Amino acid sequence: MSDVSILGEPRPGESYTHRHVTSAVIIDEHGLVAVVRLGDRYFLPGGGIEAGETEVETLVRELREECARAVVVGARLGDAVFYQYTPTYGGWCIHSAYYRAAFGPLLDVAPEPDHTPFHFSPDEARALLFRKSDAWAVTAALSAG
């Protein structure tokens, strides 16, 4: 998938912080989607790409940190850009790369205390996910089979 889906648009006159992330769409054997709650917001598991990291290395690190789980990374679903502006946090332009993935074994590490993993039906997950691009990725994963 070479096209990038654009969700939202920048507000004229506002500046935006750009961030590159990679996230996993994990759908378990019961058809439930893995999400992570951070504060009062829900996201797909994943996070910011650090200097020198590949997208897959980022997923491995982030799943270890957020969920204390290994991850089996599958097909790349595509990219999406999400523009978000709030008066409190300003403007953010999040460029996300999405992969199908599956949880591997539990790891002998403590997950980050402010990240809580959950599983929801696809419809519930799409309604709860903070980034419209994450909801887009769930739909893309379901469409891909």
Q: Over the chain (145 residues), what is each successive 10-residue block's mean pLDDT?
A: 82 95 98 97 97 98 97 97 92 97 96 95 98 96 91
Predicted local confidence at residue 83, as pLDDT: 96
pLDDT at 53: 97
Nearest partner of 61 among 77, 76, 49, judged by Cα: 49
The whole-number pLDDT of residue 145 equals 80
Looking at residue 1, its pLDDT comes to 42
Indicate which CATH number applies to the domain containing 19: 3.90.79.10
Q: Is residue 91 within 8 Å of 85, Cβ to Cβ? A: yes
Q: What is the pLDDT of residue 89?
A: 87
Sign of the CA dihedral 125, 128, 132, 134? Answer: negative
State how beta strands 90-106 and 16-26 pair: parallel
Radius of gyration, CA atoms only, the chain: 15
Looking at the structure of the chain, the number of domains it has is 1
In angstroms, rounded to a whole number, what is the distance separating the alpha carbons of residues 34 and 28? 8
